[in-house]
Amino acid sequence: MLTPARWLLAALAAVALAGCDTTALKVAEDLKTYDVPATVTTVELTGGSGSVEVAAVDGPHRVRERHVYADLPPLTSHRVEGGTLFLVDQGCGKAADADGRCSTHYRIEVPRTLAVTVKVRTAPVTVTGMTGALDITTDVGAIRGTGLAGKTKATTSVGAVELRYAAAPPAVDVTNDVGATQVFLPAQGEYRIDAKTAAGPAVNLPSLPKAKSAITLRSSTGAITVAPA
C-alpha cells in the first residue's frame, strides 16, 4: 500500500502514463501462452504495470502473457510448487518501467474453485466467475469482480472497487484509499456489514449482528455502496 503522502503522486503518474502519446515510441509486442497443470489449486501473481484478467473456464486452462515494450521485453517467469502456480513479472528495468515503456498483460483461465492472489503496482484487475478465495492488491488500478462467491480481500491505494457476488461470500474485506467502492450481494443472504468512509456509506441491505458473512469496507476518500445484486 502507498502512504497517504504518495497516493497522489502515484495517481498523477498513472494519469500521465495513460495520456502519453506512444506513437513516437518503437513499441514491440509479443505473446506467451502456457498451460495450467491439473494439480494447481492456487495461483499467485506478482507484477508491475499492465493489466490482469482472471476468468473461470471449463477448459482449456492456460495463461496468456502479452508483453508491450520499447527496448528489452519484460522478464517474466512461471513455476509450480506444492500445488501453487507462481507468476512473476519483474519488468523491463528501472528506466523503462519508470517512463511507461514496459507492461505485461495477463489473461489467466482456470477452474472456478481455485484460490487467486494478485499483487501489482499499476494495473487494473478483473476477475470473472471465480468461487474460490481472492486476495487482490493494487497500488494504482481498479479492482472489478463479477459472478464471485468466495472469501474476498481487495486492497488499493488509488482505484475503484466493484465486486458482484452470485452467492453469499463467507467474508469480504475491502480497503480503498482513494476511489469508490461498490459491493453487490445476493438479497437472500444474511450479512454483518461494517462500512466506514469520510463520504458516508450507503448501505441498502440489512446488517445482522449475528450473521456469519462479514462485510468490512473502509475508504479514506470515496463513496461506499452496498446493494442487492
The Cα–Cα gap between 45 and 164 comes to: 22
Q: Report the number of distinct structural domains present in the chain.
A: 2
Q: Answer whether residue 70 is part of any domain.
A: yes
- Please check whether residue 48 is in contact with residue 65, taking contact to mean a CB–CB distance below 8 angstroms: no
Q: Answer whether residue 34 is part of any domain.
A: yes
36/72 same-domain check: yes
Q: Which cell numbers hold the place of 79? A: 513455476
Q: What is the mean pLDDT of residues 116-135?
A: 98
147: alpha, beta or left, given left = phi > 0 and alpha = psi -120 to 50? left
What pLDDT score does 10 carry? 46
- Please check whether residue 170 is in contact with residue 131, taking contact to mean a CB–CB distance below 8 angstroms: no
54/105 same-domain check: yes
3-state class (DSSP) for residue 17: helix
Q: What is the DSSP letter of 123?
A: -
pLDDT tens per residue, range 59-100: 999 999 999 998 889 999 999 999 999 999 999 887 766 667
**Is the per-residue pLDDT at 22 higher than 70?**
no
pLDDT tens per residue, range 191-212: 999 999 987 899 999 999 999 9
Give percent of the chain with pLDDT exceeding 90.
Answer: 80
The residue segments making up the domain with residue 218 are 134-229
Q: Answer whether residue 68 is part of any domain.
A: yes
List alpha helices for the chain, DSSP H.
4-18, 94-98
- Please check whether residue 208 is in contact with residue 192, taking contact to mean a CB–CB distance below 8 angstroms: yes
Please report the beta strands in 57-160, taking only residues with DSSP state E, as ranges in sequence order.
Answer: 62-69, 76-81, 84-89, 102-110, 115-122, 125-128, 134-140, 143-148, 152-158
151/106 same-domain check: no
